[in-house]
Amino acid sequence: MSKLDKYLRLDLMPHFACPGCTHGIAWASLVRAIDGLGLDQDRTVMVCAIGCAGRLPIYLNFPSIRTPHGRALSYATGIKLADPTLNVVVFMGDGDAVAIGGNHFIHASRRNIDLTAIVAINEIYGMTGGQYAPTTSFGRKASTAPFGMIEPKLDVCKLAMGAGASFVGRGDAYHVRELTPLISKAINHKGFSVVEIFTNCPTHVGRRSKHKKASQALLEFKDLTVSQAQAKKMTGEDLHGKYVRGILHEEIRPEYVEEYDRITGFKEEGAL
């Protein structure tokens, strides 16, 4: 019995994830962060939508809602505005966050409502059979890119920063120990926070990339990502094609609901 068991719906185990999938690392890191912060389990709402990443809250013992594909952030917005005292965590995959849900992602970043968005990027639509995502690396094969990915890859963190998110961080499933502290900081941040986590999909990406083992993808992350300390020592040329981990952006900006209540003179029902 682990001290984290209380956060899981153990009766639903085993979970559905494929052997070698690292979404579980992202989920476990989130649960550890919640535990470390001592968040009230009854007052922390999990919102997610569709796909492998979107199936998470089923296994987590919190009030949870799985919305239509891509809409998680709009539901989370309504939840937070209806009760700003709730902690609201949104867990999304590539499609939810930046394809079908891309518009919601932009505007959630801009508004700065106090939500935490965890975005697990495995470069693929795993649940539907390995179609390419906006986050698929150029040249990578997918079931709908049999000749290789033609489109450029979308950078989730750059999009979040460009749209105005007040906390943006990145991690990957290889550098596991960095994830829980990063997610904890994101949850503690007052405003809209985004944590992008590179995960792998051995079933679709790994297989089409001729990986011998699921762990090969993790070794790719080791080369693909650099810490901020490493990045500082690198030239622009060296950094080309690399992804910096850690907190990429953090600013104090007025939080939407607090501003709303201040500007509109919001009065709780029954208050004088």
Partner 1 sequence: MGKSVLMQGNQAVAEAALAAGVKFCAGYPITPASEAMEILAGKLPAVGGRFIQMEDELASIGAIIGASAVGKKAMTITSGPGFSLMQENLGYASMIEMPIVIYNAQRVGPSTGGATKPQQGDMMQSRWGSHGDSPRIVLCPGTIREAYELTIQAFNLSETYMTPVIIMADQLLAHNRENVVLPEPGSIKLVSRRTDAVPKTEYLPYRVDKTGIPVLPPFGGGYRYNMSGMIHGENGIPDLSAQTIDTCIRRINRKLERYRDDIVRVEHIEKEGAKTAVLVYGSPNRPAKGAVEAAAKLGIPTDFIRPITIWPFPDKEVRAVAERVDKIIVAEMNLGQITDVVRAAVEGRAEVIPFNKVNSMPITVAEILELIKKAVA
| CB of 47 vs partner 1, minimal distance in Å | 8
Q: Within a 10 A sphere around the Cβ of 142, how many other Cβ atoms? A: 20
| Residue 99 binds to partner 1 (criterion: CB under 8 A) | no
- Interface positions, 25-44, toward partner 1 (CB under 8 A): 41-43
- 5 lies in the binding site for partner 1 (CB under 8 A): no
Q: Which is nearer to partner 1, 235 or 264 (CB)?
A: 264
Q: Which of 29, 64, 112, 122 contacts partner 1 by CB under 8 A?
A: 64
3 state SS of 179: helix
Cβ contact 179:25 at 8 Å? yes
Residues 6+ apart with CB under 8 A from 69: 49, 50, 51, 54, 95, 96, 100, 101
Q: How far is the CB of 20 from partner 1 (least distance, A)?
A: 23
Query: Among 53, 7, 36, 62, which residue's Cα sits nearest to residue 187?
Result: 36
Q: Which of residues 142-161 bind partner 1 (CB under 8 A)?
A: none
- 3-class SS of residue 171: strand
- For 144, other C-beta atoms within 10 Å of its C-beta total 14
What gap in Å lies between CA 65 and CA 93, rounded to an integer? 15
DSSP state of 8: B
Tokens representing residue 169 in the block: 């961080």
Select the span of 58-66, 140-148, 175-183, 199-207 touching partner 1 (CB under 8 A): 58-66
Residue 172 CB, nearest approach to partner 1 (Å): 28
Cα separations in angstroms, 205 against 58, 143, 186: 25, 10, 29
Residues 187-246 that bind partner 1 (CB under 8 A): none
Token pair in block for residue 155 = 């950078």
83 binds partner 1 (CB under 8 A): yes
Among the residue ranges 102-110, 184-192, 221-229, 232-240, the one whose residues contact partner 1 (CB under 8 A):
102-110
Q: How far is the CB of 119 from partner 1 (least distance, A)?
A: 18
Report if residue 103 touches partner 1, rule: CB under 8 A.
Answer: yes
Interface residue list for partner 1 (CB under 8 A): 9, 12, 41-43, 45, 47, 57-58, 61-68, 71, 73-79, 81-83, 85-86, 103-104, 106-107, 257, 260-261, 264-271
